[in-house]
Structure 1
Amino acid sequence: MYVKRIVITGYRASELGIFQATDKKITIIKKSLTSQVRQFIEDGYQWFLVGGNLGIEVWGGEVVLDLKKEYPEIKLGVLFPYLEFGSNWNESNQQLRDNLVAKADYVGSVSHAPYQNKAQLQNHSQFLLTHSDASFVIYDEEYIGKCQHFYKQARRYEERADYVVYQLTMDDLQNSVWADGF
């Protein structure tokens, strides 16, 4: 039986102006993520892969874990780019990472060494692309962020492989806010 896998990625929390766990924007983003992940589950995706960055990836992982209550067959994989990822974060952010890791179905790192250079990040993106069937990227070309590198690499990969890049833009997020009555 073929297992469908999708990468969830996008902006870092700081790129969205989110610096507190109580920021209302997180609720809005998670609501959009929940809607999309539900659709992906209905489309047959079973594994949801995140890289562990603070922001869309952590919130996406949390949404997948919440949805496991309804869909126990889905799985969460956390694939860090390198060993000791996030070890320099503050204590509350490390706790977010550790909570995700503790509940994930699979945890690993693409590079088996601590951070050395940006090639590890490029290899991480390539690994995620070649070990998934699709990507869901919250990214807007008008609002540049660190995820632009993955997004561009994924779009190039989509042109030459049997691969799909799903994208949610800032306008899409804004529309979901109005649709939900926020």
Structure 2
Amino acid sequence: MTAILITGYKNSDLGVFNEQDPKIKVIKKAIRTALVSYLEEGVDWFVFTGNLGFELWALEVAKELQGDYPIKLSTIFPFANHGENWNESNQLKLSQFRAVDFSKYCYDQYENPGQFRSYNQFLIDNTDGAYVFYDTEHETNLKYFVNKMKEKENFNISFLTFEHLNEVASEFDE
């Protein structure tokens, strides 16, 4: 079995709040190419954390690919109440993360910041690699998670960067 963690920028990090934003089409095209490549290499599972933005778009693409590939999708939420304070529209998006082959949470509730370190380590320890939308020139708190991933031996990380997205966007212009 091969499991790939998928994580990256949230929609708020990217300033994308409208589902019709043309950036999403470009991002999804890049995601599709990467996920198909993983599937052709024998990946069995894609693992998500339940964040809006890149993860949701990747989940949508992965669900489309399930019709052609025998893959499983999983969401491991940090807490049982993940997203409970989100608005109704975002709650609907969150429900897509629960409608997967396996869904679970690590902790009943937030108690201390150390839980996030343990959660991140759990995800790294239980996957074989990661596909991450992250660019070191546009840092967010995601950098801590990415740095932790880099510490693990034989943990393959593939990055989607803004430079790559510009290349994908130029294909739309041709």
Same fold (TM over 0.5): yes
Instruction: Pick from 1, 11, 24 the counterpart of residue 13 of structure 1.
Output: 11
Give, as a single letter, the amino acid of the residue that structure 2 aligns with 1:162: N
Structure 1 stretches of 4+ with a deviation exceeding 6 A read none
Name the Cα RMSD after superposition.
Answer: 1.3
Name 1:136's counterpart in structure 2. 131
Identity %: 34
Name 1:67's counterpart in structure 2. 65
Name 1:79's counterpart in structure 2. 76
Structure 1 residue runs of 5 or longer lacking an equivalent are none
Using the size of structure 2 for normalisation, the TM-score is 0.95
Instruction: Pick from 41, 44, 58 the counterpart of residue 43 of structure 1.
Output: 41
Q: Distance in 1 between matches of 2:76 and 2:173?
A: 35
Instruction: Pick from 56, 61, 66 the counterpart of residue 58 of structure 1.
Output: 56
Deviation of 1:98 after TM superposition, in Å, equals 0.5
Structure 2 residue runs of 5 or longer lacking an equivalent are none
Deviation of 1:101 after TM superposition, in Å, equals 1.3
Q: Distance in 2 between matches of 1:178 and 1:115?
A: 43
Name 1:34's counterpart in structure 2. 32
Deviation of 1:61 after TM superposition, in Å, equals 1.2
Q: How many residues align?
A: 174
SS at match of 1:166: strand
Q: Distance in 2 between matches of 1:53 and 1:117?
A: 20
Give, as a single letter, the amino acid of the residue that structure 1 aligns with 2:77: F
Using the size of structure 1 for normalisation, the TM-score is 0.91
